[in-house]
Amino acid sequence: MSGPVDDTSDEVVEPSEDERDAWARVRRSAKGMRHHEAKAAWEEARKAAEDGSRTGRDALIAQAETDEWERVTEALFDHAGAYDSADDPFVQGELEGRAHHAPPPPGRP
């Protein structure tokens, strides 16, 4: 008899460049949008991702866009203003984290 499967792992899976690019496109598109506009864009992205016509890499990108629209929409839920990635704590944390994990410039240890 086998025991329970241990699904916990400390390994962090880094998003692909395709996913990062999809997030950046969504953030550029969302700039200046209010909650209702972002929600409409999220619903549109969800429909496009669920239509079944995308496979492989295209499906991954569509899902990344849908997930980012959802996150932006949720961030604007109780926010009276328009979206700006410069004011998005998640985006700022992501940028800071990437800066700390970036390889040193050439010629520096």
C-alpha 72, offset from chain centre? 9
Q: What is the pLDDT of residues 67-88, one digit of tens each?
A: 999 999 999 998 778 999 998 8
Q: Rounded mean pLDDT of 21-39?
A: 97
Give domain status of residue 107, yes or no: no
Give domain status of residue 58, yes or no: yes
Rounded Cα distance between 9 and 59, Å, is 26
Give domain status of residue 65, yes or no: yes
Give domain status of residue 37, yes or no: yes
Domain that holds residue 85: 17-97
Residue 103: pLDDT band with limits 50, 70, 90:
low
Who contacts 45 (Cβ-Cβ below 8 Å, separation ≥6)? 26, 62, 65, 66, 69
Give domain status of residue 7, yes or no: no
58 phi and psi angles, rounded to 5 deg = -65, -40
Helix 56-76 to helix 17-30 angle (10° resolution) is 40
Domain count, the chain: 1
DSSP 81: S
Give domain status of residue 5, yes or no: no
